[in-house]
Amino acid sequence: MIKLTEQQQEDLAAQIFQSRKYRGLNIPLATVQNLLTQEADKHSSTRALVKAVRHKMHNIVAPYLGDPEYSMAERCLQKAFDKHDPAEVRLACSRLMGAHASTRERLPVLQEFYDAIFSTIGRPSVILDLACGLNPLAYPWMNLPLSTQYWAYDLHQPRVDMLNRYFGLQGLQPLARHQDILVEPPQIEADVAFFFKEAHRFEQRQRGCNRAFWQAVNSRMLVVTLPAVSLTGKHQLADQQRNLVYTTIDDLPWHVTELCVGTELIFCIEKGYGAKKE
C-alpha cells in the first residue's frame, strides 16, 4: 500500500499524461487522481502503481476503438450543413460514426435501434448521453425535435469540442460536456440516460461501481446497452452481460425491458419511485 502526497500524485499524473497517446486529449486530471487513489492500496512500489494506472487508462480512453481526425471532422460537418440537404448531413454523420468501433457496429441497424428504444420508453425531452463517444451524431436517426436537450458527456476533449460544433450546426444547444462521469456524475434531471457499451468497462475500472453510479444518475429511465458478442466477433457475451445488469440492480425495485437490435443488448430500466437511495 502506497501513501501519496498531493504533490506526488500531481507528478505521477503529469508523467502518465506525457504519453503520446494522451497528448492533446486533455483527459481530466480527476480521472488519473481517482485511479491513483484507488490503485495505491493494491501496490507496494510507485513503479507498479504507475503501470497499473496506465493499464486502466488505456482501457478507459480506449484509443484502439478508433477516432476520426477531429479538425477534418468539423470541416466535413460544416460542408454537409452548407448543402442544406438532410441526406448530406446523415451521410457525413454516418461516415464519422464509422471511425469508432462502438458506433460503427450500430450503423447498419441505427434506425431500428432508436425506433426500438423510443417505442419502449417514449420520446424524451431531456437526454443524458453518458460516455457518449460519437453517438450524439446519431441524432438525425432519433426523430426528436430541436427543442430536445441533449446532454452528452465524454472525457476526450477533441470529441466533446467536435460534438458541440455539430450540435450548433444542427440547431441544438451545445450541451456536450468534458467530464469524468464516474468521479462526477451529472446532476441534470433528465427523462432518459443513455449508457451505451460502457457498463462492462466501468466494471473493469472499478468492480461494482455501476450500482452507485446508476443510482446517482438523475433520470427516471436508464437505457444501458452492452455488446452481445466480443469486438473480434469470436465470443458470445450475452449471459455475462445480463448477469452484470441484474447483479447491479439486484434488490432495487427497478423494472427492466430487454431488447436486442443487431449485436447490441438493450436494457430499458425504469427506476421505480420506491428506488432506494444509498
Ligand X SMILES: C[S@@+](CC[C@H](N)C(=O)[O-])C[C@H]1O[C@@H](n2cnc3c(N)ncnc32)[C@H](O)[C@@H]1O
Q: Is 132 in the site for ligand X (CB under 6 A)?
A: yes
String of DSSP letters for 30-99:
HHHHHHHHHHHTT-SSHHHHHHHHHHHHHHHH-GGG----HHHHHHHHHHHHHTT-HHHHHHHHHHHHTT
Dump the DSSP string for 157-210. HHHHHHHHHHHHHHTS---EEE--TTTS-----EEEEEEES-HHHHHHHSTTHH
Total binding residues toward ligand X, as defined by CB under 6 A? 20
Q: Which residues in 116-134 are b (16+ Cβ under 10 Å) and which e?
A: bbbeebeebebbbbbbbbb
- Ranked by CB distance to ligand X, the top (closest) residue is 133
Return d(Cα 6, Cα 16) in angstroms, integer: 15
Neighbouring residues of 191: CB distance < 8 A, sequence distance ≥ 6:
122, 124, 125, 126, 127, 219, 220, 221
Residue 39 contacts ligand X per CB under 6 A: no
Residue type, 47: R
The smaller minimum CB distance to ligand X, of residues 39 and 198, is found at: 198
Q: Does 222 bind ligand X (CB under 6 A)?
A: no
Q: Does 210 bind ligand X (CB under 6 A)?
A: no
Cβ at position 251, least distance to ligand X in Å: 26
* Cβ-contact 233, 83 below 8 angstroms: no
Contact (Cβ atoms closer than 8 angstroms) between residue 241 and residue 227: yes
Please select the residue that binds ligand X; options are 121, 155, 172, 268, rule is CB under 6 A.
Answer: 155
Comparing CB distances to ligand X, the nearer of 74 and 180 is 180
Query: Which of the ranges 39-47, 132-140, 185-193, 215-223 carries the binding residues for ligand X, by CB under 6 A?
Result: 132-140
135 sits near ligand X (criterion: CB under 6 A):
yes
In the bound complex, what is the minimum distance in angstroms from residue 183's beta carbon to ligand X?
Answer: 7
268 backbone dihedrals φ, ψ, rounded to 5°: -90, 110
Q: Which amino acid belongs to residue 80?
A: A
Q: Among the candidate windows 35-43, 60-68, 118-126, 144-152, which touches ligand X by CB under 6 A? A: 60-68
Nearest alpha carbon to residue 225 among 117, 121, 139: 117
68 binds ligand X (CB under 6 A): no
Decide whether 2 or 116 has the Cβ nearer to ligand X: 116
Q: Which is nearer to ligand X, 12 or 182 (CB)?
A: 182
Residue ranges in 243-272 that form contacts with ligand X under rule CB under 6 A: none
- The residues in 162-191 that bind ligand X, with binding defined as CB under 6 A, are 180-182
Q: Should residue 152 be labelled a site residue for ligand X when binding is judged by CB under 6 A?
A: no
Stretch that binds ligand X, among 1-9, 153-161, 185-193, 227-235 (CB under 6 A): 153-161
Residues that bind ligand X (CB under 6 A): 60-62, 65, 102-103, 131-133, 135, 153-156, 180-182, 196-198
